[in-house]
Structure 1
Amino acid sequence: MELKVKSQGGCASSGCGSSTDRLAHLPEAIRAKVNNHPCFSEDAHHHYARMHVAVAPACNIQCHYCNRKYDCSNESRPGVVSEVLSPDQAVKKVLAVAANIPQMTVLGIAGPGDPLANPERTLETFRQLSEKAPDIRLCVSTNGLALPELVDEICKHNIEHVTITINCVDPDVGAKIYPWIFWNNRRIKGRKAAEILIAQQQKGLEMLVERGVLVKVNSVLIPGVNDAHLKEVSRVVKAKGAFLHNVMPLIAEPEHGTFYGLMGQRGPTNEELQTLQDACAGDMAMMRHCRQCRADAVGMLGEDRGHEFTLDKIETMEIDYAAAMTRRAQVHAEIEANRAAQRQQSGEVFVSLASLKRPAPKKTETRPVLMAVATTGGGVVNQHFGHAREFLVYEASSTDVRFIGVRKVDLYCSGGDTCGDAETTLQKTIRTLSGCEVVLCSKIGYEPWGMLEAAGITPNGEHAIEPIEEAVATVYREMLESGRLDSAPAPEQRMSA
């Protein structure tokens, strides 16, 4: 049996993963841009951090899934911030974060409104950062309505990565998502509004690609609205040069106050999201590690350290950024050495697996298995089950190990060596892990172990501090050799996909 690793990001020349076939159509200079970008590279997100600064309060469109909130520390979703910054404040905060979190490589502006609906504030922030922190990659996320008129300015400020949210390429679908746009000093509604927005998005995408800017497309999966249409979106944006497609689930809880939430529009299930992502993957590379971050997020994907860098706290910090840049370069070199060592170690494991005696051929192909992983980063299994707020889900088969996505959960254990009796929270976690047959973690308590097993999910704490893909491949081999793959999973563990 030979297992290979498929990453969603990576490049051969920069040593950032094994999926060179996904990047072969791009010039080497562009491939290198994703090496340490946690949002554009699935492998990089295990090792590098990002931050967003909220300097763009205004928006030029209204989306049925959006409700911008301020001073809302308990929500983690786009459009939510605790404080809106001026460009000067934002730059000061970026320098403080970069000095204190040296693995931070990317600064993005993503709201809480639309950055390009606030061009002066957005571009002034980028202008200062390109001068004062040249080692930080600059990114902007936009709905695309104002994009074509600002492409030249974006390129002038050395912005290498742009994300455009494109939820449709059909105005009839768009009319169900966008009640209005503000265009040429007029509020335009209905199908005409969607028609203008789509045309601007496509024009801006083409212009950026012509200038060599790496473009990622975000799409919100809205069941019953655009779910059957997103495969066409993926096909169109790939044809126009987009590098990566990020299909995200609709967040529609009523407490968030969005139109969709208040009207009872549901979000997709994990199975529906994976099925749609797999369908789109036939057209282009998919981003599956998105956390749908706040507009002021700080830290690794999946964590938020923004509370450590409020304006009052950074005022007391003394930052020598020249010295910080030296330290950052050292940390990045250490990270790359660690990534190289992990690739070599994993490669040795896969060679070993390939040398095993192959099982006798069967009439049906060995089925794949989903495994959930608790990790705090670094690309290794290193988190207590009860401390996880999210699980990374991988699919192992007889031919490869591939990353599937992220599933967020409520915190089950507040700390210490034992977990509490939060039965309701644990039951929710088990439902969230539906479809997974194994959970890999560094440690797990007695009670959750028993409840997971009762639900048909095998807890496994034997691969702590091992590279994730290596651990997943090893467990799959053990399942194959023990005969566990000869039978189908329990009904509650099957996925509709």
Structure 2
Amino acid sequence: MTCVCPGSISQSVWEKTQRHPCYSAEAHSKYARIHLPVAPRCNIQCNYCNRKFDCVNESRPGVTSEVLTPELAREKFVWVREKVEDLSVVGIAGPGDALADWQATKQTIKAIQAIAPEVVFCLSTNGLRLPDYAAEMVELGIHHVTVTLNALDSEIGAKIYQFITYQGRRYEGKAAAEILLQNQLAGIRYLTGHGILVKVNMVMIKGINDHHIPEVVKKVKELGVFVTNIMPLIPATGSNFENFPQTSMKEVNELRNLCQLDLPQMRHCQQCRADAIGRLHEDRSQEFRMANRTGETKKVYNPVRKQYRIAVTSKYNKLVDQHFGHATGFTIYQGDGYTFQPMEQRSASKYCSGMADCEEGENRRDQTIDALQDCDAVLTMRIGPHAKDKLSCRGVTAIEYCDSVENGLRYAVEVLIKQEATEYERGIASTKRTAN
């Protein structure tokens, strides 16, 4: 894919594009990127997607070995930048959706912009929340956005998407596909109208949307999209399409050749992991897992050496690598931020048994939460909002983290100390107002 700078693109944006390995075929062998997995939530369920967060042996969208907080993402960027030459792009591609976890995405971008303003930022999204956040994306100075748009026909879309969650409601079938499409088109139109280069991804699914993709390309061309990327279906184990035939690259390239008549086609896509690091033809993500860091142990400010009880979800007591709803046991640690001791192991009933919806098994969930109410915090890779709220009502703070258990415990104590300081300050302020 070779592109000549269009007159509508500013020189500064074009220069950044020449350092973006996904937007420039020439750049993909020269420049490296880092995907920061700070956005684990997703607001749609695609039938081809199974987002396994801890699979080290797969390379496909939605897969990562760790989920990071914005603070840890900044640390990881600094670490990788010191080791990887020609690191030019910071991408946020999940492992869920960058806009479904917008606050974490935005905090990460601002934190890195403060130390590396020259970096090219790139976001990937399904587009459902684009109308809500497109203006903020422009204000943040993001110039490259990828939107996955698989169909213009709601009947076709209903075969691809199981459901969407939008404005507090769940939609299925054609209704879900129509809302999603409406927001995708409106969001893309806004972005391109404000100088953002948009790449549209399409998953080619034989017998469902393969014949329809040329129509999608023509439509997004009208909206001012910069380039399209037709990707083969990867039948992910555990997804609704796991038994579908994998689309061959011969079929994909034939379709790309046809669509090339309307828009430039990306032909070097590697369908990267959500934590990918390095050039497109390499993956150094496992080299840079946060659990592999070495160096001086970070000190925790806890002068009174208060002891905290923290329940941890971990498969082998090495990494914080389990979803709260998937845990069948919790290790209870006690410590002050300097040292920790494992106190006991508590069993639990796994209550989240479905990939698409973790709201079932409420009784088992409540039993688990009741069993943890003597703890100060739960340290887990991911937790749903309802479980988080129920823990909070019992005075237990839910903390999402993905790194070693040792680092996670220190981080949890930091969070608890800051939380207590904030509550103390609020109490003083409230007392002053009452006195006055």
Q: Place the TM-score, normalised by the shorter chain, in its bin.
A: 0.5 to 0.7
Q: Does 1:148 align with 2:131?
A: yes
Residue in structure 2 matched with residue 283 of structure 1 by the alignment: 262
Q: Does 1:213 align with 2:213?
A: no
Q: Where does 1:363-442 land on structure 2 (aligned, <5 Å)?
A: none
- Could you tell me how far 1:317 is from its partner in structure 2? 8.4
- Could you tell me how far 1:33 is from its partner in structure 2? 2.6
Find the residue that maps to 2:187 and give its secondary structure.
helix
- Could you tell me how far 1:130 is from its partner in structure 2? 1.0
Q: Does 1:169 align with 2:148?
A: no
CA distance in 2 between counterparts of 1:138 and 1:83 reads 20
In the alignment, which of 272, 281, 284 is matched to residue 251 of structure 2? 272
Residue in structure 2 matched with residue 233 of structure 1 by the alignment: 216
Find the residue that maps to 1:54 and give its secondary structure.
coil
Find the residue that maps to 1:116 and give its secondary structure.
coil
Instruction: Deviation per CA, 1:25-51: give whole Å up to 9, x if none.
Output: 644443323111111101100111111
Residue in structure 2 matched with residue 260 of structure 1 by the alignment: 241
Compared CA separation, residues 275 and 309, structure 1 to 2 (3 A):
same
Residue in structure 2 matched with residue 305 of structure 1 by the alignment: 284
CA distance in 2 between counterparts of 1:178 and 1:282 reads 29
**Aligned amino acid, residue 293 of structure 1:** C
Residue in structure 1 matched with residue 361 of structure 2 by the alignment: none
Where in structure 1 are there 5+ consecutive unaligned residues? 1-7, 10-18, 319-497
**Aligned amino acid, residue 226 of structure 1:** N
- Could you tell me how far 1:102 is from its partner in structure 2? 2.4
Q: Retained in 2: the 8 A contact 1:245–1:285? A: yes
**Aligned amino acid, residue 249 of structure 2:** N
Alignment size in residue pairs: 297
In the alignment, which of 115, 124, 130 is matched to residue 113 of structure 2? 130
CA distance in 2 between counterparts of 1:275 and 1:68 reads 29
Find the residue that maps to 1:132 and give its secondary structure.
coil
Instruction: Deviation per CA, 1:295-315: give whole Å up to 9, x if none.
Output: 000101021111222213345
Find the residue that maps to 2:188 and give its secondary structure.
helix
TM-score by length of 1: 0.58
Find the residue that maps to 2:114 and give its secondary structure.
helix
**Aligned amino acid, residue 239 of structure 2:** T
TM-score by length of 2: 0.66
**Aligned amino acid, residue 308 of structure 1:** E
Instruction: Deviation per CA, 1:249-294: give whole Å up to 9, x if none.
Output: 00015xx221101xx2112122211111111111100001000000
- Could you tell me how far 1:316 is from its partner in structure 2? 2.4
**Aligned amino acid, residue 202 of structure 2:** S
- Could you tell me how far 1:74 is from its partner in structure 2? 0.2
CA distance in 2 between counterparts of 1:122 and 1:28 reads 26
Q: Retained in 2: the 8 A contact 1:93–1:314? A: no
**Aligned amino acid, residue 265 of structure 1:** F
- Could you tell me how far 1:100 is from its partner in structure 2? 1.1
Residue in structure 1 matched with residue 337 of structure 2 by the alignment: none
Find the residue that maps to 2:28 and give its secondary structure.
helix
Find the residue that maps to 1:89 and give its secondary structure.
helix
- Could you tell me how far 1:23 is from its partner in structure 2? 4.2
Residue in structure 2 matched with residue 110 of structure 1 by the alignment: 93
Q: Retained in 2: the 8 A contact 1:48–1:105? A: yes
Q: Does 1:191 align with 2:174?
A: yes
Q: What is the percentage of aligned positions where both structures have the same residue?
A: 45
CA RMSD of aligned residues (A): 1.6
Residue in structure 2 matched with residue 440 of structure 1 by the alignment: none
Residue in structure 2 matched with residue 121 of structure 1 by the alignment: 104
Compared CA separation, residues 317 and 199, structure 1 to 2 (3 A):
farther
**Aligned amino acid, residue 257 of structure 1:** G
Where in structure 2 are there 5+ consecutive unaligned residues? 298-436
Q: Does 1:54 align with 2:33?
A: no
